[in-house]
Structure 1
Amino acid sequence: MSHTAHILSHRKPRQRASKSALRAGVAGGVLSTIAVAGAAGPAQADPVTQTIEMPTITSGFSTAVAASAQATQQVALDLETQADEDAAAEKAAKTAKKAHAEAVRKAEAKKKAEAAAKAKAEAEAKERAERASRTSERTTLSASSGSSDSGSSASAPSSSSSNVSGSAASIVAFAKAQVGDAYSLGSTGPNSWDCSSLVQAAYRTVGIDLPRVSQAQSTFGTQVSLDNLQPGDILYWGSAGSAYHVAVYVGGGQFVGAQNSSTGTVQRSLDYDRPTGAVRVL
């Protein structure tokens, strides 16, 4: 037996060596294939061209994404702008509504003020007309009676307040005591009167409750002639039932009445403002 026959070999088995060769061959084949493909000429250049164009596709996709993001941002800006416009429009509508309401309020206030001024002017005009009418009647009476004493005596009753007694005396005394008080339409005393409230208050001193207004007072009692007056009789101006002024006859051809805001409560001669008629209550 040879001496070397029993020496173990440190080399790897051949089977493993063949596997390494196989792997190397495969790798070499792949490399060779690639080398052959690269050397194949223009006919085999298409795959390379496709591969080179990939960055271009990627760049286009990025541009599209950027454009989409920009479009989204623009839509968001448009929505925000629309919201601001809607808020501004709503605010403007509220402001316009408030301004309209204020204008309506001012117009109504102006209308009421004008109506009040018109009513006041009409009342003053009516009072002036009534005063002018009484003045005209007084002038006519004076012209028809002449300047003779007998004519004056005929136009004025002969009753004197000095010999008045009983209920009539109380009425006359109350009326005279108010001379100098103010006139105010609707007032009922004690320091300011209108014509009918003064007459009503005078009669209340003797327990007689007259109606409140001159129209009703001019028919409360018995109609008497102006030539047959007695102290305490109610004088009225205008027609019975629609009189616009009343006063108390106090005797001696005199009456006491709350005339108007200019004169207040006064005592005057019948010739100063000749009444239309008279009623007797007592």
Structure 2
Amino acid sequence: MSHTAHIPSHRKPRRSASKLAVRAGVAGGVLSTLAMAGTASATPVEPVTETLEMPVLNMDLGSEVSSAVTTAADNSRAAAVEGELNAQEENARTGAAAEAKKAKEEAQKKADAEKKAKEEAERKAAAERASRNDGRSSLSSKSTSDEGGSTSDDSANDSVATGSAAAIVSFARAQVGKAYVMGATGPSAYDCSGLVRAAYKQANISLPRMSQDQSLQGTKVSLSNLQPGDILYWGSRGSAYHVAIYVGGGKFVGAQNPSTGIVERSLSYDMPTGAVRIL
């Protein structure tokens, strides 16, 4: 072993070739600058033109950017189309609702108009029928007067109402002029069976409420053998749809319909189907 081996070396470490090259480059640059400055007064300085080079995009990066732009554009178009479809759908719903409402209103107006026309036709028909029957009654009375000078009608053989029959007939005639109302039983309005039932109540006789049942009461009698107080019915017995009270003299009192109300009419006004006698 050397006798100097224990003494640490003071030699500087070697610099790497790259570092030396950098330093050499820097020194060379400085010397070149000084040399140019020294000759600046003698030699005119040429303008330095530098060319800047734009960075070149990596092809893969350009593809990714292009793809992202395309995707964003597609998404924008899809959103616009969806928004347009939603708007059209909402408009369609609104339009359908409006059309349905309009159709319903028109249907209701048409139904109301038809109902009104039907009621008007029924009123006119009832008025014409009443006018014709009144005309026939007048002609019949005139003919009888001209022939025999008498005001008696075809039922001159009717007996005079007495007792319970008189009470029934008197009550029925007292209601003439009042209103006809379906289901009414008095005292200001009646329907047909309600009037008959109320009249018989004056004689302390209780009758069923409905015309069908009233036509089944008592004994069936011929229309040529009527007496005051008999119940007249229209339709078949047991299925009658209308009833009235025979008051004598070939006439009856009945609650006819909403147009006429309660009236006293000749049998020829509306000939009944049959009659029953309860008294």
Give yes or no for TM over 0.5. yes
CA distance in 1, matches of 2:240, 2:174: 25
| Alignment of 1:264 onto 2:265 | no
Alignment counterpart, residue 192 of structure 1, candidates 169, 189, 194: 189
Alignment of 1:1-282 (within 5 A): 27=21, 55=54, 57-58=56-57, 67-68=66-67, 70-117=69-116, 119-121=118-120, 123-124=122-123, 127-128=126-127, 130-131=129-130, 134-135=133-134, 138=137, 145=144, 147-149=147-149, 152=152, 154-161=154-161, 164-165=162-163, 167-205=164-202, 206-210=204-208, 212-213=210-211, 217-218=214-215, 220-226=217-223, 228-236=225-233, 246-251=243-248, 255-267=252-264, 270=266, 273=269, 275-276=271-272, 278-282=275-279
When normalised by structure 1's length, the TM-score is 0.60
The whole-number CA distance in structure 1 between the counterparts of 2:235 and 2:124 is: 17
Q: Which residue of 2 aligns with 1:48?
A: none
Judged with a 3 Å threshold, the aligned counterparts in structure 2 of structure 1 residues 131 and 244 are, in CA distance, closer, same or farther, namely farther
Distance, in Å, in 2 between the alignment partners of 1:230 and 1:101 is 62
**Stretch deviating more after TM superposition (83-92 or 219-228):** 219-228
CA drift of 1:115 comes to 5.0
| Contact preservation (8 Å) 1:183, 1:192 | yes
Check 1:232–1:271 CA distance in 2 against 1; reply closer, same or farther (3 A cut).
closer
- The corresponding residue for 1:5 is none
Stretches of structure 2 that go unaligned for 5 or more consecutive residues are: 1-8, 26-50
Q: Look up the equivalent residue of 1:147 and give its one-letter code.
A: E
Change (3 A) 1:241 1:120: farther
What is the number of residues matched between the two proteins?
240
Which residue identity is paired with 1:99? A
Q: Which residue number in structure 2 is paired with residue 8 of structure 1? A: none
8 Å CA contact 2:123–2:259 kept in 1: the answer is no
Mapped to 2, the partners of 1:239 and 1:142 lie a distance apart of: 31
Any gaps of 5 or more consecutive residues in structure 1? 1-12, 32-51
TM superposition score normalised by structure 2: 0.61
CA distance in 1, matches of 2:17, 2:169: 154
* Residue matched to 2:47: none
Is the contact between residue 159 and residue 229 of structure 1 (CA under 8 Å) also seen in structure 2?
no
**1:119-177: CA deviation from partner (whole Å, max 9, x where unpaired):** 4346436535653674576478558756324683554334234xx11x32332232133
The structure that is helix-richer by fraction is: 1
3-state SS, counterpart of residue 57 of structure 1: coil
Q: Distance in 1 between matches of 2:140 and 2:222?
A: 16
The whole-number CA distance in structure 1 between the counterparts of 2:215 and 2:125 is 20
